[in-house]
């Protein structure tokens, strides 16, 4: 894996989102907040949910359209953000409008770039990206995998886009399923932990408000210390879990429940599911 730094490309004149779900909105929100693109240069499209499009227009002041030709034509970057199960139908509906000089960014889990090119009958410049919903606050961890025909210039543009909303790590396409299970789904694992800790605090007698406040600040402080201290997670754990102390008692309990193994299996099963989702699109 190679981490790239941004190259400060000029603002794109038009970006089209084909699909407007939660991940698309997270990216949109992040791009606008970081001034990567202005709202008047963004077009949002989905298959049939006009109410959703109207909400996005009202909230972000972007262009909306149910017509895919209107959304795609003239766009320098087209972001495919529809559900993998809708891939064949969706690609059939847009293949006539996509061009080989556009940057096509696919957010779809399990859909290889070779399948997309075959479905549209063109050598599109595809980049597969696996961000997470933390993009909405500029803190996504995104894996980026270049397809066969993407130019270095457009790959750089894709990296810049996602570094605007967090970090971008370029990987080989065969590794993108790992990214999906590790960082793509990763925020949910921390939400799960936060919820469990909050419930534990409430069970032990403190208010829900106090439990939430304490847990959120604890997670925030721990992640920032891990990032800024230069020490590994293992070293920080050893430093705080002194023998016979309260922290060590808690860690011993986690070990008895094999939590490390459970986390590893959690990530593995997410990766397995990503691989299963790719099966229908394999040649």
Quick: pLDDT tens for 143-198: 999 999 999 999 999 999 999 999 999 999 999 999 999 999 999 999 999 999 99
- β-strands 166-170, 2-3 pairing: antiparallel
User: Does the annotation place 152 within a ligand binding site?
Assistant: no
Structural domains in the chain, CATH included, are 2-172 (3.40.50.720), 186-276 (1.10.3730.10)
User: Does the annotation place 82 within a ligand binding site?
Assistant: yes
User: Does the annotation place 83 within a ligand binding site?
Assistant: yes
What 8-state DSSP symbol labels residue 171? -
Task: Report residue 51's pLDDT band, with 50, 70 and 90 as the boundaries.
Answer: very high
Q: What is the mean pLDDT of the chain?
A: 93
Q: Give the CA-trace dihedral at 2, 264, 189, 28, to 10 degrees.
A: 30
**What are 167's strand-pairing partners?**
141
User: Does the annotation place 20 within a ligand binding site?
Assistant: yes
User: Does the annotation place 98 within a ligand binding site?
Assistant: no
User: Does the annotation place 84 within a ligand binding site?
Assistant: yes
Question: 9 pLDDT exceeds 60?
Answer: no
DSSP per-residue letters across 89-108: HHHHHHTTT--TTSEEEE--
- In the predicted model, what is the mean pLDDT of residues 133-150? 95
pLDDT score recorded for residue 2: 42
Three-state DSSP state, 248: helix
User: Does the annotation place 225 within a ligand binding site?
Assistant: no
User: Does the annotation place 110 within a ligand binding site?
Assistant: no
- In the predicted model, what is the mean pLDDT of residues 198-210? 97
pLDDT score recorded for residue 4: 41
DSSP per-residue letters across 51-91: HHHHHHHHHH--EE-S-HHHHHTT-SEEEE-S-GGGHHHHH
Question: 282 pLDDT exceeds 90?
Answer: no
User: Does the annotation place 243 within a ligand binding site?
Assistant: no
pLDDT score recorded for residue 47: 86
């Amino acid at each position: 894996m190679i981490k790239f730094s941004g190259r400060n490309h000029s603002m794109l004149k038009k970006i089209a989102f084909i699909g407007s779900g939660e991940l698309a909105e997270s990216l949109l929100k992040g791009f606008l907040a970081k001034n990567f693109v202005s709202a008047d240069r963004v077009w949002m499209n989905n298959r049939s949910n006009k109410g959703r499009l109207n909400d996005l227009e009202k909230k972000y002041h972007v262009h909306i359209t149910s017509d895919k030709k209107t959304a795609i034509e003239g766009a320098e970057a087209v972001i495919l953000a529809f559900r993998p199960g809708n891939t064949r139908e969706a690609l059939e509906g847009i293949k006539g409008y996509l061009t080989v000089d556009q940057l096509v960014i696919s957010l779809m889990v399990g859909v290889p770039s070779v399948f997309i090119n075959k479905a549209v009958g063109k050598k599109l410049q595809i980049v597969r990206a696996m961000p997470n919903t933390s993009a909405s606050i500029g803190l996504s961890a995104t894996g980026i995998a270049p397809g066969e025909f993407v130019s270095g210039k457009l790959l750089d543009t894709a990296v810049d886009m996602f570094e605007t909303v967090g970090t971008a790590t370029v990987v080989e396409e065969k590794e993108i399923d790992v990214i999906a299970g590790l960082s793509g789904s990763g925020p949910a694992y921390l939400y799960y932990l936060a919820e469990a800790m909050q419930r534990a605090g409430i069970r032990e007698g403190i208010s829900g408000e106090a439990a939430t406040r304490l847990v959120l600040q604890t997670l925030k402080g721990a992640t920032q210390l891990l990032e800024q201290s230069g020490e590994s997670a293992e070293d920080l754990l050893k430093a705080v879990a002194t023998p016979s102390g309260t922290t060590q008692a808690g860690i011993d309990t986690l070990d008895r429940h094999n939590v490390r193994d459970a986390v590893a299996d959690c990530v593995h099963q997410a990766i397995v599911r990503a691989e299963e989702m790719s099966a229908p699109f394999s040649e």
